[in-house]
Amino acid sequence: MRIRTLSVCFGLLILVGIGCVATRRENTKNDQIVVVVSLDAFRWDYDSLYNTPVLNDIAVRGVEAIRMIPSFPTKTFPNHYSIATGLYPDHHGLINNTFFAPDLGLLYRIGDRSMVENPGFYGGEPFWVTAHKAGMVTASFFWVGSEAPVMGVQPDYWKRFDSKIPFDVRIDTVIKWLSYPEGRRPRLVTLYFEEPDAISHKYGPLAPETAKVVYSLDSLVGVLRKGLRHVPDAGKINLIILSDHGMGATTRYNNILDTLPSRLVKDIYGGSPVWLCNPVDGKADSLVWFVNMQKGVRAYKSNEVPDYLHYGTHPRMTEVVIIAEPGYVAGLKPDNQSYSKGDHGYDWKYRDMHSIFYGEGPSFREGARVDTLYNVDVYNIVCRILGLRPADNDGNQQRVNPLFR
Ligand code: AMP
Ligand code: ZN
Ligand code: ZN
């Protein structure tokens, strides 16, 4: 009996040993490819509200998260860079679409090329840098951070953001890159579309105009998917379709920022729904109190922001943050009826801010559905598929396990 137990143990040890060697070999032999596509502001429930046959098919053949939770603030730049690095904005430093960086003495604005291309703003290690360090070729048809040499590295092929480049040209270029001869062929590719963000800002998330654009984006994903079937390494491609945040309908305007007494405010940066504010010295409590007396907005001292938002500790943070409540626009002008019909940036507990995640390819399980992913998990997902050792990040490995074969 004892001998048998021992021999079983010995056999198990050998098996475990073989397993380790096999895994290690697998890792060094890893030849997988990842293509990450972002559909800006594609809300988590558009696949049930609207017609999305291609995404539905990806969910059947691959994996789907019912919702992906964005990071706060639920704006485009902080979130694309959280997806790339696995870090909360509070940890990577893009703390809003617009913010002042005292460390650089510069005001970051997404429309200011000299800021967007300044590597000093970008903390953490984006996945294309992790892949580059492992000797992989990388490519980006737009992604926040890809236009600056972060850690001295940019994707081997990259493009300066230009919304005039038609969506089909972007797809054709990605297919061309993936058809390059081995050695020049990228293993990691990002692709970005600024819709349905623009249309849903203008008309709102529930407008027929938004439904139409959502359907055409779904078809576009179909075009990309078809193209990917004909590239040399088609069988090794893992396609990820995701978004950075959702979109909420805006119905009320609050001119709180116009009414903030100048005796309380030193400076203020941002845009609705998130304003970063430095109070006049010693006036933080008065400012928070004043804001919280109003309807539709909430203020926190940065060291009192609720834990689940993971926000408020970065050295670039102002002393106070003001956040509009769902449905409200908090602007700088007196009553303004011309605000857009949709917006994002709000607390992610507001469901309309939730985003999408779909994955399809040899590394993903077939038909796996998870309830919730966080967008700081995507960095680990990409690293795992490519066999990369991830840099320190805020994601959770356990959460992503069910997605994999
Ligand atoms: P927002 O809705 O304000 O969070 O930002 C969305 C906008 O960001 C889109 O309409 C794009 O025009 C813009 N955008 C996205 N990526 C870039 C980029 N790499 N450089 C400049 N602008 C960008
Ligand atoms: Zn966005
Ligand atoms: Zn937007």
Best residue among 77, 80, 165 to mutate for probing ligand 1, ranked by most atoms within 8 Å of CB: 77
Residue position matching structure tokens 């027929």: 208
CA of 119 to the centre of ligand 1 (A): 17
pTM of this prediction?
0.93
- The answer, yes or no, to whether any atom of ligand 1 lies below 6 A from the CB of 280, is no
Closest residue to atom 11 of ligand 1, CA basis: 194
- The answer, yes or no, to whether any atom of ligand 1 lies below 6 A from the CB of 343, is no
Question: 273 is written with which tokens?
Answer: 């729904």
Residue from 96, 66, 99, 67 nearest 79 by CA: 96
Q: Which ligand is nearest to the CA of 73?
A: 1
Query: Annotated catalytic sites, by residue?
Result: 76
Phi, psi of 328 (to 5 degrees): -95, 145
Closest residue to atom 18 of ligand 1, CA basis: 161
Question: 217 is written with which tokens?
Answer: 């984006």
Closest residue to atom 16 of ligand 1, CA basis: 144
132: number of CA atoms within 13 Å, CB side?
Answer: 19
Tell me the residue type at 157: Y
Query: Does residue 279 have a cis peptide bond before it, meaning omega lies within 30 degrees of 0?
Result: no
CA of 311 to the centre of ligand 3 (A): 20
Helix or strand or coil: residue 368?
strand
pLDDT score recorded for residue 337: 65
- The answer, yes or no, to whether any atom of ligand 1 lies below 6 A from the CB of 148, is no
Best residue among 74, 114, 116, 161 to mutate for probing ligand 1, ranked by most atoms within 8 Å of CB: 161
**Domains with residue ranges and CATH for the chain:** 30-249+348-403 (3.40.720.10), 252-339 (3.30.1360.180)
- In the chain (405 residues long), the average pLDDT of successive 10-residue segments reads 37 36 47 98 98 98 98 99 99 98 98 98 99 98 98 98 98 98 98 98 98 98 98 98 98 85 94 97 97 94 98 98 97 78 98 98 98 98 98 96 97
Q: Which residues of 325-339 are buried (b: 16+ CB within 10 A; e: fewer)?
A: bbbbbbbeeeeeeeb
Residue position matching structure tokens 């009192």: 304
- The answer, yes or no, to whether any atom of ligand 1 lies below 6 A from the CB of 368, is no
